[in-house]
Structure 1
Amino acid sequence: MSGTLKFILLLTVSNVFMNFAWYGHLKFKGSPLWLAILASWGLALFEYTFMVPGNRIGAMHLSLTQMKIAQECITLAVFVVFAYLMFGETLRWNHLAAFACLLAAVAFTFAFK
């Protein structure tokens, strides 16, 4: 498996944990804030156990800018699935247009090494 693919896979897993840490508690608005914070911090630990090695692997194959642009796209892709499955949110045309702009940013970032 290539280093770039490992980077993408590790950041994808990291982002799953990130979305649960950042937004999952919104499904339980009645729970105490301290519990939401504690649960989010606990999930963030798992996020970092995938993100840190992913970024270290990615840094051996990509520039920092390429990694950041790729990370933003991974974050959005994971968030779209998360928002749909957890909250029933659907994509609208403007969401797709914004995502297309980010994909264009990825193309520009990787096209001219």
Structure 2
Amino acid sequence: MNPSNLSQWPVIGQTVGLLVLSNVFMTFAWYAHLKNLNDRPWWIAALISWGIALFEYLLQVPANRIGYTVLSLGQLKIIQEVITLSIFVPFAVFYMKEPFKLDYVWAALCMVGAVYFMFRSSL
């Protein structure tokens, strides 16, 4: 399997891969302006964020369309939420220089429970 040919990846791999990439863009669109554009008017930050978010949507929409062929809507949503937390925590700690909080661990444990409940009928 050639890693550059996404269509050869299993559906779950395609979905998760695209959602990870889309979430990186969205995290930057939502939060990076707090660090990089804090001295600019809000509407400039909003326009730049919308431009970044366009790339998020170009990845997220196909990810959900591909994933929905084998996953339920709820399963797609919980996968997205797990990915969001997985991207957000390193972003907050390493890019935004926020301190790591034990609350991130507790939130992740709650997500493990949410994943279990969303996928338990598939087990």
- TM-score (ref. length: structure 2): 0.87
Unmatched 5+ residue regions in structure 1? none
- Paired residue for 1:52? 61
Aligned partner (choices 102, 105, 110) of residue 119 of structure 2: 110
Deviations 1:66-111 (A, max 9, x none): 0001111101111111111211123322220121111111022112
Higher helix share: 1
Q: Which whole-Å CA distance do the structure 1 matches of 2:18 and 2:64 have between them?
A: 8
Conserved 8 A contact 2:89-2:104: no
Q: Which whole-Å CA distance do the structure 2 matches of 1:78 and 1:93 have between them?
A: 16
The higher relative CO (CA closer than 8 Å, separation ≥ 6) is in: 1
- TM-score (ref. length: structure 1): 0.94
- Paired residue for 1:39? 48
2:12 partner letter: T
Q: Which whole-Å CA distance do the structure 1 matches of 2:79 and 2:43 have between them?
A: 33
Aligned-pair Cα RMSD in Å: 1.1
